[in-house]
Amino acid sequence: MSFPRRLAATYGQIWRTYWSWAPSILLLAVVVFVPLGLLNALTMNVELDSLNITNGIKLAAFALAVTVVTATGLIGEVFFSGAIAISLTHPHGEKPPGLREIAQRLNYGRLIAVDLVFVGIVAAGLILGVVPGVLAYVWLGLAGPLVELEGCSVGGALRRSMQLVRGGFWLVFWVLVPIEIAGDAIGEGLAALVHDLLGHTFLATWLAESLADAALSPVFAVAAVLLTVDRMVAKEGSAPPLHSAPVPA
């Protein structure tokens, strides 16, 4: 299969899976991203003009703020992709897992640690330039699902992600990067709409961030899980069974 057709097939599978699992995925997303929306809102409401600093330091602070806002926008995506991995690979014959079951099965410590390390490395890459940040984003983008699918440690998940991406870098790149860029653009549109309706208040910023993340981050999570399984099959010939739709009770 040619690369364009393979890429199109991957996007088709992502959309079908997202649509089939939308009710449970979106409910889980609200639980995860409403609290994280508060963190993003706090970051975005920092006013540099209110700080008594020189122009040179202010410029550096602005560049750092842009990096921090970008980084905090990524917080939760890796954690959430681990949660989605549980939903999409639950044992055959089970009813779709509920929030309680997912909560009981999540490896919280490792997922949070992987999420923070991922965000830190991507943020450091963005400080050095766009290319290092994007490379880190792609090479480490499969770490979250691997914590749940293979029980990897923090370092093991990051190394395993790089191992799986190797040989399929451009497929992972052309799936995860456009999804992130499109998600950011749509999120900004949603934020502008919320601000037009509610004004530029802290509550409006929190609501805008929460809605955007809860609606759009699941797309990244589904894509990361499907890519992880695809790369396992491509490199090793086997992977955990994947459900494209909830199995009826």
pLDDT at residue 101 in the model: 78
Per-residue pLDDT band at 49 (split at 50, 70, 90)? very low
Q: Give pLDDT tens digits for 57-105.
A: 544 544 444 444 444 455 677 778 888 888 888 764 556 667 777 878 8
Q: Residue 105 corresponds to which amino acid?
A: R
pLDDT tops 60 at residue 47: no
pTM of the predicted model, to two decimals? Answer: 0.81
pLDDT at residue 244 in the model: 57
Reference 41, options 195, 183, 186; nearest CA is: 195
Query: How many other C-beta atoms lie within 10 A of the C-beta of residue 47?
Result: 6
pLDDT at residue 70 in the model: 47
Q: Give pLDDT tens digits for 137-171.
A: 999 999 999 998 999 999 999 999 999 999 999 99
pLDDT at residue 123 in the model: 85
Q: Residue 15 corresponds to which amino acid?
A: W
Q: Give pLDDT tens digits for 188-214.
A: 887 788 778 887 777 877 787 788 788
Tell me the pLDDT of the chain averaged across its residues.
80
What's the chain's Rg over C-alpha atoms? 18
pLDDT at residue 66 in the model: 46
Assess contact for 220 and 177: CB atoms under 8 A. Answer: no
How far are the Cα atoms of 24, 86, 108, 232 from residue 96, in angstroms, in the given order? 8, 10, 21, 24
Assess contact for 172 and 137: CB atoms under 8 A. Answer: no
pLDDT tops 60 at residue 22: yes
Question: pLDDT exceeding 70 applies to what percent of the chain?
Answer: 79
pLDDT at residue 17 in the model: 87
pLDDT tops 80 at residue 117: yes
